[in-house]
């Protein structure tokens, strides 16, 4: 039987040929000598005790581990996205350490995989995650993970969903591609995930109440320091975008879901002639954020690995310049350091 091959929604030409790759590498050897990588993403001291206690307290939170890896606590479940604790990727050493050591995590219930590229699916990290983890993966990837010894694996097509312990997980489109070997290009899918509280009416009511409260109380002060973060909801809807170039699907995602927090990539975009079809620029990330109608934006996919020619500082500077240009309130862009836990209900 011929193996299925996946494609993007928009008819684009991916720049992943050997010829294009060689051209990029030749340009890169000159460019990287001119780049300043002295800036390192700050790393906050993780509140590990809180994360373990919160399994019982059931308060929603988002903790950035680094790159596309987050620990999301919602509805009493511990959810990890694209787990990568690797010290290096190919020949590139990690630029900043993971925000939480993997052995310090609370038991993981759900793992969300966006696609099979090595910087999003690291088998060693996946095996080391504590707890009896259930894997939700793109279509075409389940069989590979079963052969690696994982037993609880569910694969979903675009727009399919499953409900687990009161949370609805929906697999949504992105514009990307996949390959782990020379023979499996686009043999599994790619996309993002939307996590919704099952009681949608209660969640919507909470969002309305939060919006009213925020007219006088925009921020909640973290108990362990002076950093202030926005209050979101006790039952937020969270969108994890995975990896993507800019495409019309962001608007469709916004039409189908009432998103509170969007975890969006901003890095690995340069050179744009090569990376454009698969990675948004910071400016495109903000346009995608607007398309989805989300309330808050958390940047990711920068600062951990030297995957392209842009630097972490460049990505953040371009993001800030575009925020000012679009007149987006500073409180809506939540730039997390590695290891910080954003308590979405403000408690």
Residue 123 sits in a domain whose CATH number is: 3.60.15.10
Quote the pTM value.
0.91
Q: Is residue 18 in a domain?
A: no
User: Would you call 331 exposed, middle or buried from its count of C-beta atoms within 10 A (0-12, 13-18, 19+)?
Assistant: middle
Q: Is residue 7 in a domain?
A: no
185, pLDDT greater than 50: yes
Checking if the pLDDT of 213 tops 50, the result is no
Q: What is the pLDDT of residue 228?
A: 86
Is 22 among the domain residues?
A: no
Domain that holds residue 51: 46-343
Calculate mean pLDDT across residues 278-294: 98
Residue 90, pLDDT score = 82
Burial pattern 193-205, b for ≥16 Cβ within 10 A else e, equals bbbbbeeeeebee
pLDDT mean across residues, the chain: 89
Q: Residue 3 — very low, low, confident or very high, per pLDDT cuts 50/70/90?
A: confident
Percent of the chain residues topping a pLDDT of 90: 74
- H helices of 155-301, in order, are 200-213, 249-256, 272-275, 282-292
Q: Would residue 267 count as lying in a domain?
A: yes
In this structure, is residue 24 part of a structural domain? Answer: no
Structural domain count of the chain: 1
Instruction: Give domain status of residue 318, yes or no.
Output: yes
What pLDDT score was predicted for residue 212? Answer: 41
- Residue 73 lies inside a defined structural domain of this protein: yes
Residue 64 lies in a domain: yes
């Amino acid at each position: 039987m011929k193996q299925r091959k996946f494609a993007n929604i928009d008819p684009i030409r991916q720049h992943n040929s050997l010829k294009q790759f060689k051209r990029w590498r030749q340009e890169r050897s000159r460019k990287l000598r001119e780049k300043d990588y002295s800036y390192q993403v700050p790393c906050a001291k993780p509140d590990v005790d809180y994360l373990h206690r919160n399994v019982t307290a059931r308060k929603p939170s988002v903790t950035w581990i680094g790159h596309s890896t987050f620990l999301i606590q919602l509805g009493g479940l511990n959810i990890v996205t694209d787990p990568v604790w690797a010290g290096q990727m190919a020949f590139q050493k990690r630029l900043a350490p993971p925000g939480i050591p993997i052995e310090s995590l609370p038991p993981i219930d759900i793992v969300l995989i966006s696609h099979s590229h090595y910087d999003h699916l690291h088998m060693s990290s996946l095996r080391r995650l504590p707890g009896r983890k259930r894997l939700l993966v793109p279509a075409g990837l389940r069989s590979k993970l079963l052969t690696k010894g994982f037993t609880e694996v569910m694969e979903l097509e675009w727009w399919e969903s499953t409900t687990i312990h009161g949370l609805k997980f929906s697999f949504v489109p992105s514009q990307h591609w996949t390959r782990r070997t020379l023979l499996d290009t686009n043999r599994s899918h790619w996309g993002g995930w939307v996590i919704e509280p099952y009681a949608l009416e209660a969640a919507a009511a909470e969002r309305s109440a939060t919006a009213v409260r925020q007219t006088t109380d925009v921020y909640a002060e973290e108990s362990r320091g002076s950093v202030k973060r926005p209050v979101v909801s006790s039952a937020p809807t969270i969108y994890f975008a995975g990896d993507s170039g800019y495409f019309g699907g962001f608007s469709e995602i916004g039409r189908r879901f009432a998103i509170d927090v969007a975890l969006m990539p901003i890095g690995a975009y340069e050179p744009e002639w090569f990376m454009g079809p698969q990675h948004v620029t910071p400016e495109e990330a903000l346009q995608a954020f607007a398309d989805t109608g989300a309330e808050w934006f958390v940047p990711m996919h920068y600062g951990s690995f030297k995957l392209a020619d842009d630097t972490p500082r460049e990505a953040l500077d371009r993001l800030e310049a575009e925020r000012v240009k679009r007149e987006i309130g500073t409180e809506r862009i939540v730039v997390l350091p590695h290891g910080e836990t954003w308590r979405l209900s403000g408690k």
